[in-house]
Chain A
């Protein structure tokens, strides 16, 4: 059996058995939802309903209902798109990259992080969809034979690369997540007693039996899908960044964008995982599985990626000056001192300065502070995308075209709506799905469980 150094902190606290792990995770599936779940669900549902209303109004009337104008042609729509895609990076990073690096602490968080990824990518996909205006023509993004002669989509365009990148990322993440879920659905199927839930979980479990050959294939497919998903994690946000980097707009035309966007995405993704899991572990009594150590590990990832983002911001500033290109230099001076200075400095404070506080161990192991910081980072990363998009566009080459962007209530409503839909989906997931990967946690119980880790020491001495 795999042995782990005894000085390494246990990942599963308390006296747990295989059966106990199942019971702890199934408590939410079998039991009734508590009042806090219903309150959260109610608020999220209202936000979602408002957002859907705004989106329908937008689709019926046209994107003129957003605050866009001739100069600022992209604003909150693409900001929200990039923000959501970025958030959607943590899940697959946790379940794929950390699997390849054999980081066992990922096991307690990967299921819910991956769910968050899938829902976040769905919310991201809403934005390019609705900003087309005529969403019923969205099939035009695919290279379909059509009645206009040989009119194909442009394979040289990063916008088309994005279509392929996002749809591949979404569908592969979904399959990866579901393959991991099947054995756990089977556990619930064999454990529940009521007829209707048993039928539903039987359907979801795809007839999983858990025989030796199936597990052999399961481990192989997990490893290979992790190997395939790892470059995918890095490619998706690189390609999103190319939407900007391959253009010739000062402030966008930057070769540093791909790595800078990827680290920003991981940074914001982990912040969102913290926001969700700190609440979930408390409400669902999962403190033995999602421990302070897990939160600390995630905060360390936040320091690392936040610092990469900080270095990228400063490099960008330096190069804007060093290149000697006056348009480029103006774009950056304007960001820091122009009419959008407040957005720029909010971004700098939230993303560059604030994560450095996590160097203090007391603070990065403090749950309340971590929760607060996760919100700060999410706000900061939203401002990053807003700054990149709007401040680069609003000063056109001709001063006569200079404008500002003012969001309308439809802009705000659509954004709030995607947050609402996201939380509705996540709350349903937390209520009805196994939120911890049972089959994976059971494999590390003996090597990383608290009561097993302490045993050899007492026996040997």
Chain B
């Protein structure tokens, strides 16, 4: 994109940023992103970030784990090599099922947790060796930064700077 300017507005308080974001959005400014040292509650709906679907993905991974565990144990213990343990009934899967509950549970949790974590790492692109993209190193400590592309909301840089100044920023920078 040609001539795509980026405006960064820095705040020293999460609540100031949140109030400022609400005002800006009400005036039709699109906030591309916010960098903060911790999650700012209530910010996501304001700047239009949808709730993540990671939980659904964990559920699917859990189902995969459960079916893998059950089919594995069915094959090992019922089909391939049925073991006679103290004469306990094991001719059919359901007869042996109570003993399979602990491992079914553990394997479900194992796949749900690791599948979700892996998806989280890939979607966030947080992996070993990745370089960070936060515009200011202070945003992981005690500063809060908004990233605004004026081209997103058809507003001139000067107007935007004027609006930002009203919201109590401590620094406005154009890159």
Decide yes or no whether A439 CB sits under 8 A from chain B: yes
Decide yes or no whether A17 CB sits under 8 A from chain B: yes
Residues of A within 8 A of B87 (CB): none
When C-beta atoms are compared, the residue in chain A nearest to B100 turns out to be A155
Residues of B within 8 A of A176 (CB): 113
**Docked-complex contact A212 and B47, CB < 8 angstroms:** yes
Decide yes or no whether A156 CB sits under 8 A from chain B: yes
In the bound complex, CA of A190 to CA of B136 (Å): 9
**Docked-complex contact B120 and A179, CB < 8 angstroms:** yes
**Docked-complex contact A172 and B116, CB < 8 angstroms:** no
**Docked-complex contact A190 and B80, CB < 8 angstroms:** no
**Docked-complex contact A190 and B141, CB < 8 angstroms:** yes
Residues of B within 8 A of A161 (CB): 102-103, 106
Residues of B within 8 A of A206 (CB): 121, 126-128, 130
When C-beta atoms are compared, the residue in chain A nearest to B127 turns out to be A206
Residues of B within 8 A of A275 (CB): none
Residues of A within 8 A of B94 (CB): none
Q: Chain A, 207-218, contact with B by CB distance < 8 Å: what is the 0/1 string? A: 111111111111
In the assembled complex, the CB of B173 is this many whole angstroms from the nearest CB of chain A, namely 17
Chain A contributes a number of interface residues (CB within 8 A of B) equal to 67
Per DSSP, chain A at the interface is helix
**Docked-complex contact A208 and B126, CB < 8 angstroms:** yes
When C-beta atoms are compared, the residue in chain B nearest to A176 turns out to be B113
**Docked-complex contact B81 and A152, CB < 8 angstroms:** yes
In the bound complex, CA of A35 to CA of B120 (Å): 41
When C-beta atoms are compared, the residue in chain A nearest to B78 turns out to be A155
Give the contacts of A142-196 with B (CB-CB under 8 A). Answer: 143, 150-156, 158, 160-161, 164-165, 167-168, 171-172, 175-176, 179, 182-183, 186-187, 189-191
Decide yes or no whether A203 CB sits under 8 A from chain B: yes
Q: Chain B, 140-161, contact with A by CB distance < 8 Å: what is the 0/1 string? A: 1110000000000000000000
**Docked-complex contact A439 and B132, CB < 8 angstroms:** no
In the bound complex, CA of A212 to CA of B44 (Å): 7
Q: A212-B47, A221-B120 are in contact. List 13 more A-B contacts (CB 8 A).
A: A1-B41, A143-B72, A150-B81, A161-B102, A161-B106, A164-B102, A164-B107, A189-B140, A207-B126, A209-B133, A217-B123, A220-B52, A443-B41
Nearest first, the 9 closest Cβ-Cβ pairs linking A and B are A207-B130, A190-B137, A18-B142, A215-B39, A206-B126, A19-B142, A161-B102, A152-B76, A164-B106
